[in-house]
């Protein structure tokens, strides 16, 4: 696969990921990750300080599925949706079937009553298994620009 095709495919992965969340098909979300994955939402300062835990953390696909189930079932929260706008993926490195990429994003949150606001901005730092299709995230770090995290962060980003 040449570089242009790889970019296109990673761009597709990012778009499909965002659609899955924005369309509230969260049960499909874990399938964007390999079994032994790492998913983390943190903020820039914490990330730069080398802290390895964050606001949302999962170390396996099972943990992602558990999170969705908990969200659907037990948690009580005001219904809302996101709308992502995702920039072009930048591929830093490809080796041994793993691509390292980073992508800027904006996420707007739309509340059930119609209020909407720019909720989060930041960057995805990804390690992606590109040795087989469909591509899957080995690691997706969601680095939020702001450390002022809304308490209503239940849906993944």
Near a second copy in 38-97, by CB under 8 A: 44, 81, 83-88, 90
Q: 20, 68, 71, 110: which one contacts a second copy (CB under 8 A)? A: 110
In this structure, the chain runs to a length of 157
Query: Binding of a second copy at residue 25 (CB under 8 A)?
Result: no
Task: Write out the two tokens for 136.
Answer: 């899957």
Residue 73 DSSP symbol? T
Q: 75, 78, 95, 113: which one contacts a second copy (CB under 8 A)? A: 113
Q: Is residue 140 exposed (0-12), middle (13-18) or buried (19+ Cβ within 10 Å)?
A: buried
Q: 84 - beta bridge partners? A: 107
- Residues 6 or more apart whose CB falls under 8 angstroms from that of 46 comprise 54, 147
Measured from the CB atom, the residue of 18 and 155 that comes closer to a second copy is 18
| Binding segment toward a second copy, per CB under 8 A, in 33-41, 50-58, 67-75, 100-108 | 100-108
The structure tokens 């009580």 sit at: 76
Residues that bind a second copy (CB under 8 A): 4, 7-8, 11-12, 15, 18-19, 22, 44, 81, 83-88, 90, 104-106, 108, 110, 113-118, 121-123, 145-148
């Amino acid at each position: 696969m040449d570089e242009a095709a790889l970019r296109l495919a990673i761009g597709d992965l990012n778009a499909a990921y965002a659609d899955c969340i924005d369309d509230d098909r969260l049960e499909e979300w874990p399938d964007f990750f390999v079994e032994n994955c790492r998913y983390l939402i943190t903020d820039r300062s914490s990330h730069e300080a080398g802290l390895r835990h964050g606001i949302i953390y999962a170390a396996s696909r099972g943990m992602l599925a558990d999170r969705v189930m908990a969200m659907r079932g037990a948690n009580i929260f005001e219904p809302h949706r996101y709308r992502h706008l995702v920039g072009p993926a930048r591929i830093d490195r490809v080796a041994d079937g793993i691509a390292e990429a980073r992508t800027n994003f904006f996420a707007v949150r739309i509340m059930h009553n119609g209020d909407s606001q720019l909720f989060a901005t930041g960057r995805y730092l990804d390690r992606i298994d590109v040795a087989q299709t469909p591509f899957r995230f080995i690691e997706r770090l969601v680095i939020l620009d702001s450390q002022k995290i809304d308490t209503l962060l239940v849906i993944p980003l």
